[in-house]
Amino acid sequence: MPQYVYEALDPGGKKVRGKTAGDSLAVAGASLRSRGYTITRLEEQGAKEAGQAAASSAEISFNDILVKLGRVKQTEVILFLRQLAALIKAGVSIVLSLSILESQTGNRKFKYVLSRVRRDVEAGNPLSDALERFPRIFPPMVTNILRTGETSGLLDTAIERIVSYWEDRLALKTLIITSVMYPVIVLLVSIAIIIFMVTFVIPSMVVFLESVGGELPWTTQLLVNVSEFFTAHLSKMGQGLVLLVLLGVGIYHVPAGRYAIHKYMIRLPVVGAIFQYTIIVFFAKTLSMLIESGVPIVDALKSTRDTMSNVAVKRIIDRMVDRVLYGENLSEPLLEAKRVFPPMVGNMVKVGEETGGVDGALEMVADIYNKLLEVTVKRMISLIEPALLVLMGGMVGFIAVSLIGAILASYSGSGM
């Protein structure tokens, strides 16, 4: 009969380790749990214990390197959860489902993570506890909802709810990124063209114009002066730009600097409203789904906080957690956080508290501000795109007209 090495917590909470026998890993895990043990590690012991221990140590070391250096995309996690829900709904056991999905993935890091999850589930641990070991891949929001699904016996429904939320969140991020991509590309290309003309084209033309003779128009003289300034100070300007970027990165990596940036970014003109509406949509949609799934309000707020990237908003949510723990309603700290959450958000949550439908009120808030966000993004793009085209087109046109005017003036002055 195979022997298994285990580490566990006894009924008194004391850490214990030892060996046990069983026909399989699942049988050995069931035997330990029947004694009141909470298993933290359980694996089969081979005949050559020392050799296999060294090999296992090397394997763990290599896999740990993969875990630290590798990357698992959110799309891969979403696909995994969607397939897992389908397999469970079809009646396939969780262990077999994990084994199937583990063999299908081509990401080495994700394959290792799923193998660890599968072994933990085989040892008798709940799926939520097994996924909780990898918070960067499966955030607390996911594991909390899975835990409620395991308790209610609706695990597949809980997973589908997570997938639907995650896909909506990614779609919103994609909308914002793709909406601002075109104006940014137009701006960068236009700036690159202007720099190229000022530093390379105009200096070459100046030599030609000086050889022909004649007085230059004021527009051309202005371009020549700008070109000479850029050419003479290009290296210093490049160094200054690099230092400015490094300074900005340094400030962002200091906690106080990052907090200040995140706090005031929602007050920026034009884009500030987009940042604010995005925060409200993510907050309301996440919290609504967690409460609807049966997660306690305090745990739901903590999980929502972990999904937010804005440090200032995280501090606001921390204050919400403290005040809810003291017995206050969620609407009270929401109404006081007016700089991030407009009064309508707190008032709608207050109505939900009075009617017993906080999750529904939050979902309505998410829908309203999601539509406002889409309208604001489209309006911003409709204003920025023509403004950029007119500005950059005008600058390029000014350069072209100035050069042509100088050439004509030079020919007229030389009597040609």
pLDDT digits (tens, 9 = 90+) for 20-57: 877 767 677 777 777 777 666 677 765 334 444 444 44
Q: Which amino acid is at 277?
A: Y
CATH of the domain at 294: 1.20.81.30
Two structure tokens written together for 293: 């799934």
Cα 397 to Cα 402: distance, rounded to the nearest angstrom:
8
**What is the sign of the dihedral through the CA atoms of 60, 66, 72 and 76?**
negative
Cα 25 to Cα 2: distance, rounded to the nearest angstrom:
9
**Cα within 13 Å of Cα(21), Cβ side:** 2
> What is the percentage of the chain residues whose pLDDT exceeds 70?
87
State the average pLDDT over residues 126-147.
86
Is residue 64 a part of any domain in this protein?
Answer: no
Alpha-carbon torsion angle 53, 54, 60, 65, nearest 10: 170
The answer, yes or no, to whether residue 11 has pLDDT greater than 80, is no
State the average pLDDT over residues 315-331.
90
The answer, yes or no, to whether residue 12 has pLDDT greater than 80, is no
pLDDT of res. 357: 86
Q: What beta strand segments (E) does 186-299 contain?
A: none
pLDDT of res. 56: 46
The pTM assigned to this predicted structure is: 0.70
Query: What are the tens digits of pLDDT across the range 73-94?
Result: 888 999 999 999 888 888 888 8
Closest CA to 176 of 77, 309, 303, 81: 309
Is residue 29 a part of any domain in this protein?
Answer: no
The answer, yes or no, to whether residue 205 has pLDDT greater than 60, is yes
Query: What are the tens digits of pLDDT across the range 108-129?
Result: 888 888 988 888 888 878 888 8
* Dihedral class, residue 155 (left if φ above 0, else alpha if ψ from -120 to 50, else beta): alpha
pLDDT of res. 54: 42
pLDDT of res. 139: 85
Is residue 140 a part of any domain in this protein?
Answer: no
The answer, yes or no, to whether residue 65 has pLDDT greater than 70, is no
Alpha-carbon torsion angle 203, 209, 214, 217, nearest 10: -50
Q: How many domains does the chain have?
A: 1
67 within 8 A of 41, measured Cβ to Cβ: no
Query: What are the tens digits of pLDDT across the range 240-283?
Result: 888 998 998 888 888 888 888 888 888 888 788 888 998 999 89
pLDDT of res. 40: 66
Is residue 229 a part of any domain in this protein?
Answer: yes
Report the SS3 class of residue 166.
helix
Q: What is the extent of the structural domain holding 342?
A: 149-416
Which contacts qualify for 156-161: CB closer than 8 Å, 24 or more apart?
A: 156/85, 156/88, 156/89, 158/293, 159/81, 159/82, 159/84, 159/85, 159/88, 160/82, 160/85, 161/289, 161/292, 161/293
Cα 68 to Cα 196: distance, rounded to the nearest angstrom:
42
44 within 8 A of 59, measured Cβ to Cβ: no
